[in-house]
Amino acid sequence: MRRMDPLLADLVAVLDLEAIEDNIFRGPSRDIGSPQVFGGQVLGQALVAASRTVSERQLHSLHAYFLRGGDVNAPIVYEVDRARDGGSFSNRRVVAIQHGRQIFNMTASFQAPEDGLEHQVAAPVVVPPDDLPDITELRATDLAGLPERLRYFFSRKRPFHVRPVMAAGEDFGAASGTAKHVWMRAVDPLPDGVSLHCAMLAYISDYELLGTAVLRHGQERELRHRLQMASLDHAMWFHRPCRVDDWLLFSFDSPSASGARGLARAEVFDSRGALVMSTAQEGLIRLR
């Protein structure tokens, strides 16, 4: 059996929280090049903490708020409140704590499996992932105009393939308009387990989301030098089971920006065109 990529294996370990008391868990932090703990890490770990207190029910939604930047050099403690276990739904509240202060809170809802009406929007028709370069393979000149911290973030190796759908000859960071499409997939096969794949999906849902909110304002590359950006809240709706070691197409758009805040959304489709997840995030977008 092939050995798992070390970065992906480390992420699996990061999401495998330590139980330190009833309903209390602890997870390590990692520096992936963002100014503070990556929001996707906190989302994924909080989701694992909530899932550890639920059985025989499937996650269908979460709603979260980022309260403070996390310290990459310290672990995070997650306290789970078993708010309700009803006949069909279970609700959990999770608080993430570092240095004695809340940095994040989340509510997640789980449902017993149930059949019902079905419909979905059609998946966009885009270039397949095998015909696109990975974000880490982009030319050095495409990254040269970005701030140093962002060059580090975009050029370092990741546990996921990230392949933006770009027109021929288009430079990375020069997208314009109102939408973008990105293929993502874990670099190696992952173990089975619905909760692991949901946590991984929560992790990567924060990769490309907020930057969508500045696309219609011109060259994203030029704006990056003048912007203070931070995630404020995050919502996810899980529609159908999926695996994050299969290709997933993230279709991003931004319907609004105002009050130094921007709203970004994404619909996520598997390689067969099934809509597996929807997500939305509002973030601080402050011009320096």
Residues marked active site are found at 206, 231, 281
In the chain, what is the greatest distance between 2 CA atoms, to the nearest angstrom?
57
Q: Quick one: which H or E segment has residue 222?
A: helix 220-223
Question: What is the C-alpha to C-alpha distance for residues 268 and 274, in angstroms, rounded to an integer?
Answer: 8
Edge-to-edge strand order for the sheet containing 18-21? 18-21, 24-27, 76-85, 89-98, 101-111, 58-66, 227-238, 275-287, 261-270, 248-258, 179-186, 160-164
- CB 187 within 8 Å of CB 8: yes
Question: What is the C-alpha to C-alpha distance for residues 224 and 148, in angstroms, rounded to an integer?
Answer: 11
Question: Tell me, what amino acid is at 178?
Answer: T
- Residues 6 or more apart whose CB falls under 8 angstroms from that of 174 comprise 219, 220, 221
